[in-house]
Chains A and B, each alone.
Chain A
């Protein structure tokens, strides 16, 4: 994407620079219109956009939650001082500012909020999704390796916004079982 952008940018710059050259073409107004406006303005732009869009829709499909049966279901509830996470597979248990997930499995996070609008964002795992009062949004995540991933709220929420962060811990099969059994908080 960056290469493409740079290419278009350089094209425009060269066209601008060349317009200062001394010699004038003596083509008629309509030929010029055809070349510049229909050729470059419409056809060229449309082609570039079509490529971009196709890419966007394909990539977007991969990212949104589809209701796959085997996904691990967790919930995230935001408030102005942090996040509370709960787990379908371990009813009654909640963790504060730490989300536990199994590595190598699909996870769907149901996101909502207890006060103002926040946004759930773990940059290394998925794009962000807002937590909106009265609505529940679902996000699909997958961490292939066990490890710790930084997450944060990405929608301004007033005082305390800077410190509104959380952490995602993805576990190997053993520790995940231990977590579900209650041997790990």
Chain B
């Protein structure tokens, strides 16, 4: 088959529906990556306009432009949009687009999940946009400290938009993180062992794992605060046994890693682009990977440095102060590895390189002021002044926006297959650079003079007028620069000439695909033997296109790719994806109805929405798999591989594992919250503990253990060729028994609105009940699949997945029951 014929055949299988309709049914990662990036930059523009309004207000003392209330909405929404609707989705978009191409494969692990995540982002973001347009936007600052945001001091709907909208958007972050983790671990070109992986993939892997463990505390905090606001469960009210410090812990447990979640992918871009710009390879690949991992670990120990002024004991402060400064080490390792790379090679000043230099200058200043902020006595002086805001922008803009622009300009020829024609980008860079530093150096300065952040005006005699004016003026130069970047990119997309393949002479696989990349990425999957296979092997692209790699023969209408062994990169099994579908957008619309019912307080509708979600999900999962055993699939001349449904460690199993990692972090944060309230909050012990009741405890824990045993029995039956139906049904019955025990527990809890103890217990047992019911639903699904003939000794993927969830449900139910009974026995 020649290259063109192969292209036509593959494209017919993989392409999305033509025209705008295709947007709603596409599951292709290139499409969705572009959509993610487009939407993220739309929010960047909105966030930027809000920033301009803020600076316009602060340009002169006593500006009558925005009042106090409007100003509060402006800065809250600016921060919120930039962090949640721009930065994180932009990273997800870039990773979704690039990762399969860098890894030499055809798509991500779960194409439908990519689409679901995208639509959750769109719908959740739309809620926040609506609140902004209607003038009822959140107004408590981007970290939303209660009690200011609690029901007493903020009775309006503003805060609910934040809590509910952001939680909705967070779903997309979690989906993307699960997806990227599994894709990087399993979906690579044959032969690409971990140590041959492009450095960007390492960074995205670390980032994804951080999202999985960093976001759950925030989701938990948001749910608790929303429960307090909606139903009066007093988690954060000091007079009822709650504590507003709990929110601060949960928020910064997320918020500090968040900064690194934003920075690490940007560092990944630099580690990819910089060596190419210097015509060499990255210095100290292993060191850089180790530094990224170290940064991830350290960043979780650091949240308390945002709480230095809350009166944490001095020893604690000293410990966290030391740990905070320690992150400078892995950061410095990366920075010096990059500078060393430049010394090793011959750096050339192309546009991406300019942005990287912009990054260096800005980020080093930001890092140094960061170390200053981490030093406690200094922090006491500048905490909550414009100095801190300025520092934060040096890190976020320097550490994220400059690298992102470097990456965009670097990969633009790949996105479009064209070459830049007008030299607008250089002028834009100069304006952005000058404007940025003007704006924020001035803000450092007024901060040191004592200007607090979040004030909507200041006195003319404070002596801040000129500096603020300079800052505002520069911010408009910055805005013009960013607008020019946009115009440059648009002109590039529509008005320039075709470029040649691989204009930078890079060595990674994405440049070996056609550009713009076709729907299927690679006509055949290349065999990888070095870290940058395209550098030495220049006719690799032709061989891929001619089908001289794996999976070169299209198989009917099937979208096929293969997975590899995690460490060695040896081919493992073949995966068949589902084609274009509207299920993802439907499911996220139904999810949206669920959140909307909470926002509008139409609570009778909430269960309806939950059932609708369950039904759509059921259909979603039902539609894959087959009723007949099939043999091995031929993937190359003399290599045959099994199908995904015939292995226990199937993609679904991997995804479930990482989803459960996130879930366990959520549960862990919940237990932390319980322990925190118990030991630190004022107003404990509560007036009354839960009465221990042995039968309930024994029935609950006993049936939980039984459920785990029965699902194992089902798997054993299946392996031995018997029908697993009886084991499955017994597990189902046991799970229902656990659910009954948990319901009994929930009914006996002391008044949940009277004390945070009751509220916490209600939430913990509710969490246990939810997971027990989820296990029951999955077991019912499995039983239906067994009856319909989808499970056989050979097709054993489904029971393994259900076992994971059953075990998790059983474990959480047991923990819930035990810790509810514990306090009364201990005291």
Chain B residues with Cβ below 8 Å from A59 are 376-377
Is the CB of A168 closer than 8 A to any CB of chain B?
A: no
Is the CB of A173 closer than 8 A to any CB of chain B?
A: no
- Our pick among B72, B344, B349, B380 for the contact of A32 (Cβ within 8 Å) is B344
Q: Mark A69-89, 1 if CB is under 8 A from B, else 0.
A: 000000000000000000000
| A41 near B333: Cβ-Cβ < 8 Å | yes
Chain B residues with Cβ below 8 Å from A19 are 278, 339, 342-343, 347
Chain B residues with Cβ below 8 Å from A138 are 311
Tell me which residues from 21 to 38 in chain A have a Cβ below 8 Å from any Cβ of chain B: 24-25, 29, 32-33, 35-37
Given contacts A15-B339, A16-B342, A137-B311, contact A158 B332 (CB under 8 A): no
Closest to B374 in A: A56
Is the CB of B486 closer than 8 A to any CB of chain A?
A: no
Q: Which of A24, A115, A158 has the most CB of B within 10 A?
A: A158
A contacts with B, residue count (CB < 8 A): 61
Given contacts A33-B284, A37-B337, A45-B329, contact A53 B322 (CB under 8 A): yes
Q: Mark A118-135, 1 if CB is under 8 A from B, else 0.
A: 010001001111101111
- Our pick among B238, B371, B377, B455 for the contact of A63 (Cβ within 8 Å) is B377
| A5 near B339: Cβ-Cβ < 8 Å | no
Least distance between B371 CB and chain A CB atoms (Å):
6
Chain B residues with Cβ below 8 Å from A130 are 309-311
- Our pick among A20, A135, A155, A161 for the contact of B311 (Cβ within 8 Å) is A135
- What is the total of A-B residue contacts with beta carbons within 8 Å? 200
| A119 near B328: Cβ-Cβ < 8 Å | no
Is the CB of B372 closer than 8 A to any CB of chain A?
A: yes
Closest to A5 in B: B368
Chain A residues with Cβ below 8 Å from B456 are 162
CA distance A18 to B340 in the complex (A): 11
Is the CB of A178 closer than 8 A to any CB of chain B?
A: no
B contacts with A, residue count (CB < 8 A): 77
| A117 near B244: Cβ-Cβ < 8 Å | yes
Closest to B75 in A: A156
| B384 near A42: Cβ-Cβ < 8 Å | no
| B342 near A40: Cβ-Cβ < 8 Å | no
| A161 near B454: Cβ-Cβ < 8 Å | yes
| B340 near A35: Cβ-Cβ < 8 Å | yes
Chain B residues with Cβ below 8 Å from A159 are 68-69, 72
| A115 near B318: Cβ-Cβ < 8 Å | no
CA distance A56 to B243 in the complex (A): 29
Chain A residues with Cβ below 8 Å from B454 are 156, 161
| B310 near A16: Cβ-Cβ < 8 Å | no
Stretch at the interface among A6-14, A91-99, A100-108, A141-149: A6-14
Q: Mark B110-149, 1 if CB is under 8 A from A, else 0.
A: 0000000000000000000000000000011100010110
Chain B residues with Cβ below 8 Å from A119 are 309, 383-384
Chain B residues with Cβ below 8 Å from A180 are none
Stretch at the interface among B188-196, B359-367, B425-433, B635-643: B359-367
Chain A residues with Cβ below 8 Å from B317 are 60
| B380 near A128: Cβ-Cβ < 8 Å | yes
- Our pick among B141, B328, B380 for the contact of A127 (Cβ within 8 Å) is B380
| A63 near B380: Cβ-Cβ < 8 Å | yes
- Our pick among B321, B333, B368 for the contact of A8 (Cβ within 8 Å) is B368
Is the CB of A1 closer than 8 A to any CB of chain B?
A: yes
Chain B residues with Cβ below 8 Å from A135 are 238, 245, 311, 682
- Our pick among A13, A52, A116 for the contact of B147 (Cβ within 8 Å) is A116
Chain A residues with Cβ below 8 Å from B147 are 115-117, 133
Least distance between B199 CB and chain A CB atoms (Å):
15
Closest to B242 in A: A134
Is the CB of B314 closer than 8 A to any CB of chain A?
A: yes
| B375 near A9: Cβ-Cβ < 8 Å | no
| A45 near B337: Cβ-Cβ < 8 Å | no
- Our pick among A36, A126, A127, A158 for the contact of B340 (Cβ within 8 Å) is A36
Least distance between B677 CB and chain A CB atoms (Å):
11
Closest to A62 in B: B377
Is the CB of B542 closer than 8 A to any CB of chain A?
A: no
Chain B residues with Cβ below 8 Å from A126 are 380
Given contacts A127-B380, A130-B309, A162-B455, contact A32 B283 (CB under 8 A): yes
Least distance between A53 CB and chain B CB atoms (Å):
6
Chain B residues with Cβ below 8 Å from A129 are 309, 311, 380
| A128 near B309: Cβ-Cβ < 8 Å | yes
Closest to B381 in A: A127
Tell me which residues from 608 to 625 in chain B have a Cβ below 8 Å from any Cβ of chain A: none
Is the CB of B733 closer than 8 A to any CB of chain A?
A: no
CA distance A140 to B779 in the complex (A): 61
CA distance A64 to B166 in the complex (A): 38
| A117 near B325: Cβ-Cβ < 8 Å | no
Closest to B367 in A: A8
Closest to A50 in B: B325
| A16 near B385: Cβ-Cβ < 8 Å | no
- Our pick among B243, B342, B381, B384 for the contact of A134 (Cβ within 8 Å) is B243
Could you list 21 examples of A-B contacts with CB < 8 Å? A8-B364, A9-B364, A12-B339, A18-B343, A20-B342, A41-B334, A41-B335, A46-B329, A56-B321, A59-B376, A116-B148, A127-B377, A127-B381, A129-B309, A133-B239, A134-B683, A138-B311, A156-B140, A158-B148, A159-B68, A159-B69
Nearest 5 A-B pairs (CB), nearest first? A127-B380, A134-B238, A36-B340, A137-B311, A19-B342
Q: A46-B329, A162-B68 are in contact. List 4 more A-B contacts (CB 8 A).
A: A29-B344, A32-B283, A36-B343, A45-B333
